[in-house]
Structure 1
């Protein structure tokens, strides 16, 4: 079975943890152990991951330079893809004792220049702030900010991913039984010019949406959206809250889910399930059990 496993931010950094290489390395090491269980069970594996805190940190570092010297978000996305991919690649190799080749591919993802997301930024990046801190930074740097739970963060455009031009390279790697790490942070956002050439654009693509597109284009059998929550919950934050163990894609789309957290995962899972594959949402350490329907939430096209 070909599985695309999308690592949520908890695989790299939990809320409240310092954004250090040591912290991220320790979390990635834990994630690698769970992912290798899928490989040892006989599955082919493609790994994707988020980059919100990391790309935001690089943007903050860039603010120390002159405005014309700061790197745009597409370049920062490529930098974080290399950094995080390196950590995941090395820890997967260590966990599997170098029995399988592992490779990281920086992945371009085409978006539409007319996507309304460019005028309505919603993607959280960078660290959390109090409202006063966020407003001060926004005024100084020209940011857009929004509430993220009880905190405030910078928001940037998050256009819908349309095409993965590097898909043929990914297929070549999979044909050679390589464990592939790709589409990091939702991929590097690019626009396709009228002459067919491509150029980067200021945006950060949603990792779950890009992972669903990747799974579809690869013809994957399953998409696992792995996080620190054990399942999708109905009536979340109420006394009637209850985990959903299995749901059809059309029913999943009607759930009222938080837009900044579980909502994108449910929509991405439903989009992939509509193609006939299985989508699973749940805790990273339950990856194999989710696949077997023994944990998490499964999203399928039909009830069977």
Structure 2
């Protein structure tokens, strides 16, 4: 079975973690331990978030006195793909001796006229107190949004339209390679209508929506979205919190999950199932094997009664 695995940014830097290389390596080792059993039995394509990492690089770039203009988000996204991809590839190489492993820096096509460019919603970087967030907004020209009890930078998140390297990915997979790709949602680019020339854009594509598109284009059987909760909940964090263990795309959308947290994951799972008839699931990283074997997480399945 071909499985696209989408790792949340918390898999590499959890809330409260220092962004040190050693901390990220330790977290990556935990990720690979959770995925190794799946990799023995199935064909995996791994993608990952990059919110904490790209936010850190953006801050460093904005404060670097050697730069006249800070690096744009598309270039910073490429940097995070290389760094996180290298960490994952090394750990997978050690856990799966003899297996072909490759990290592919990947571009994601978006529309230049996507309304998201006028309405930034995607969180990147660390959490700040309100006073620091206001100061950064004034000094850097950043848009800030509330994330839980704190504030984080928000940037445009256009809808992914295509994966530039799809054919290359097919060739790698057909050759038996375990591929890490489309990290952070892929490097966002627009394509010239006449020449097809690519241009990077100042945005971050949602990792889960890209994962759904990637799974569709690669004809995957299963989309596995891994995060820091054991399943999807309605009324999360309230006295009415209830687990959702099984749902159709319509049922998942009807629950109205928040845009800044579970919403994109629910939408990604729903899109993949609707468009392909495959299965998707959302659950905790450490239960990856159990989720695929229907012993944990939230399973999203086609609405057979509606056909």
TM-score range, shorter chain: over 0.9
Native 8 Å contact 1:247 1:303 kept in 2: no
SS in 1 for 2:220: coil
Native 8 Å contact 1:74 1:200 kept in 2: yes
Cα distance, 1:39 vs. partner?
A: 1.2
SS in 2 for 1:138: helix
Q: Partners of 1:122 and 1:244 in 2: how far apart?
A: 26
What TM-score results when the alignment is normalised by the length of structure 1?
A: 0.97
What is the correspondence of 1:238-277 to structure 2 with a 5 Å cutoff?
238-274=238-274, 275-277=276-278
Q: Which residue does the alignment assign to 2:42?
A: 43
* More moved, 246-255 vs 77-86: 246-255
Q: Which residue does the alignment assign to 1:144?
A: 143
What is the correspondence of 1:158-169 to structure 2 with a 5 Å cutoff?
158-169=157-168
- List runs of 5+ in structure 1 lacking aligned partners: none
Q: Deviations over 1:14-39 (max 9, x none)?
A: 10111111111100000001111101
Q: Partners of 1:130 and 1:149 in 2: how far apart?
A: 11
Cα distance, 1:64 vs. partner?
A: 2.1
Q: Partners of 2:255 and 2:22 in 1: how far apart?
A: 38
- List runs of 5+ in structure 2 lacking aligned partners: none
Q: Partners of 1:72 and 1:240 in 2: how far apart?
A: 42
Native 8 Å contact 1:248 1:303 kept in 2: no
Q: Deviations over 1:63-120 (max 9, x none)?
A: 1235634211100000000000000010111111x22110000000000000011000
Q: Partners of 2:10 and 2:73 in 1: how far apart?
A: 22
Cα distance, 1:301 vs. partner?
A: 1.1
TM-align CA RMSD: 1.1
Q: Which residue does the alignment assign to 2:2?
A: 2
SS in 2 for 1:264: helix
Equivalences, count: 302
Q: Deviations over 1:152-181 (max 9, x none)?
A: 011110000001110000000000110000
Q: Partners of 2:255 and 2:68 in 1: how far apart?
A: 44
- Is 2:171 the counterpart of 1:202? no
SS in 2 for 1:14: coil
Cα distance, 1:202 vs. partner?
A: 0.3
SS in 2 for 1:181: strand
What TM-score results when the alignment is normalised by the length of structure 2?
A: 0.96
Q: Partners of 1:240 and 1:145 in 2: how far apart?
A: 30
